[in-house]
Amino acid sequence: MDQSRVLLRKRIYRDRHLYLMLAPVILFFLVWHYIPMWGARISFQDVRYIGQNEWVGLKHYRMLFSSPVFGRVFLNTITISAMKIGFFFPLPIVFAFLLNEVRSEGVRRGVQSVVYVPHFLSWVVIAGVFISLLASPDGAVNKVLQFVGIEPIRFMTSTRYIRWVFVVSEAWRSVGWDSILYVAAINSIPQDLYDAAYVDGATRWQQAWHITLASIVPTIITVFILNMGFFMNAGFDQVFNMMNDAVINHVDIIDTYVYRVGLTKGNFSLGTAAGLFKGVIGLFLIFTTDRLSRRVSGEGLW
């Protein structure tokens, strides 16, 4: 016992320079991540400008849950996220499959280098591009619609279409980037599996289904769990830059609510309560999906 303690002390002394190098990193995490976590306690307090904040228990949470605005915001968040997962999530998988079928290395490289680009653009730029594309009758999409005899639609201010604009712009930005993981997973499938299937007379579709898809299921599950962890985010930057007064009731999500109510209107405690509520649900979702996937497939995140 004593000996191991001496040994440990020796190892700590041996690594003293390493601790010195790690110290600023730990300090940054402490300041930028842990102090705000502690700061979130104001959701249980009334903020006083003079003197100590006053503890008020769940007052702000009760206000939050009884507010019809927050109910709508919560529903919007879930709807937009579910639409994105339902309609966008399969796209990178399909894209990776298609890419894998291309024999020409040059074509594959070229396509890949184009479709990765939008991932590196800011949401401000993407919003600007989509507004130009979709907002006015002058935009490219409306020009095409008019050409085939359809009346122009102002997509960005249409309560019917705006959420689909989110799905499409998310797809534009991420279909290439998110396919990288799947492409790599497909590339790591041993060739003999296909050779054996070919000898056994498997058709291309059978190969795609029983070998390619079956082999990348773990990757799909991992990506899905990660997405569930971000489910309550619903894409703040996207919504924030594309929202406008005409559609606000349909697109206002928890994070935009936190910004508007908490920061611009100064209801600090209420805003923090909404943010914390979102964070806790996010944690719950990621642990639940991880559990579920472990039980179903034996594959978890950790």
Partner 1 sequence: MRNTPRRSIGQVFLVVFLVVFSLAMAYPIYNQLVLSLTGPRYIAAADGTTLVPRGFTLATYRAALAIPKVYLGIINSVLITAVGLVINVVLTSMGAYVLIKRDLPGRSVFMTFIVITMFFEGGLIPDYFLMRNLGLLDTYWSVILYKAVNPYYLIILMRFFAAVPRSLIEAARIDGYSEVRILFRIVIPVSVAGIATISLFYGVFHWNEYFRAMVYLTSEAKWPLQVVLRELIVSLEKAAFIGGMNYQRMAGAAEIAFKAIKASLIIIAIAPIMVFYPFVLRYFVKGRLQGSVKE
Under the criterion CB under 8 A, does residue 222 sit at the interface with partner 1? Answer: yes
Q: Residue 228: which of 170, 291, 289, 180 has the closest Cα? A: 289
Amino acid at 5: R
Under the criterion CB under 8 A, does residue 130 sit at the interface with partner 1? Answer: yes
Q: Residue 79: which of 196, 163, 14, 157 has the closest Cα? A: 163
Please give the full DSSP string across 189-249, using - where no structure is assigned.
S-HHHHHHHHHTT--HHHHIIIIIIHHHHHHHHHHHHHHHHTTTT--HHHHHHH--TTTHH
Cα 148 from chain centroid (whole Å): 36
Under the criterion CB under 8 A, does residue 204 sit at the interface with partner 1? Answer: yes
Figure out which of the listed residues 5, 33, 48, 295 binds partner 1, where binding follows CB under 8 A: 33
Under the criterion CB under 8 A, does residue 28 sit at the interface with partner 1? Answer: yes
Cα–Cα distance, 213 to 206 (Å, whole number)? 10
Task: Please choose, out of 61-69, 75-83, 86-94, 203-211, the segment that lies near partner 1 by the rule CB under 8 A.
Answer: 203-211
Figure out which of the listed residues 125, 150, 196, 217 binds partner 1, where binding follows CB under 8 A: 125
Under the criterion CB under 8 A, does residue 92 sit at the interface with partner 1? Answer: no
Task: Please choose, out of 67-75, 153-161, 245-253, 260-268, the segment that lies near partner 1 by the rule CB under 8 A.
Answer: 260-268
CB of 168 to partner 1, least distance (A): 11
CB of 86 to partner 1, least distance (A): 21
Pairing mode of beta strands 45-46, 54-55: antiparallel
How many contiguous H segments (helices) and E segments (strands) does the chain have? 17, 2
Figure out which of the listed residues 64, 84, 276, 293 binds partner 1, where binding follows CB under 8 A: 276
Under the criterion CB under 8 A, does residue 6 sit at the interface with partner 1? Answer: no
For the record, the structure tokens of 66 come out as: 């009884």
Under the criterion CB under 8 A, does residue 172 sit at the interface with partner 1? Answer: yes
Figure out which of the listed residues 81, 234, 268, 289 binds partner 1, where binding follows CB under 8 A: 268
Under the criterion CB under 8 A, does residue 200 sit at the interface with partner 1? Answer: no
Q: Are 62 and 56 in contact (CB under 8 A)?
A: no
CB of 125 to partner 1, least distance (A): 5
CB of 247 to partner 1, least distance (A): 13
Nearer to partner 1 (CB atom), residue 53 or residue 158: 53
For the record, the structure tokens of 73 come out as: 């915001």
Amino acid at 202: A
Under the criterion CB under 8 A, does residue 295 sit at the interface with partner 1? Answer: no
Figure out which of the listed residues 196, 198, 209, 265 binds partner 1, where binding follows CB under 8 A: 198
Under the criterion CB under 8 A, does residue 48 sit at the interface with partner 1? Answer: no
Cα–Cα distance, 197 to 199 (Å, whole number)? 5
Q: Residue 95: which of 168, 183, 222, 216 has the closest Cα? A: 183
Size of the site for partner 1 (CB under 8 A): 99
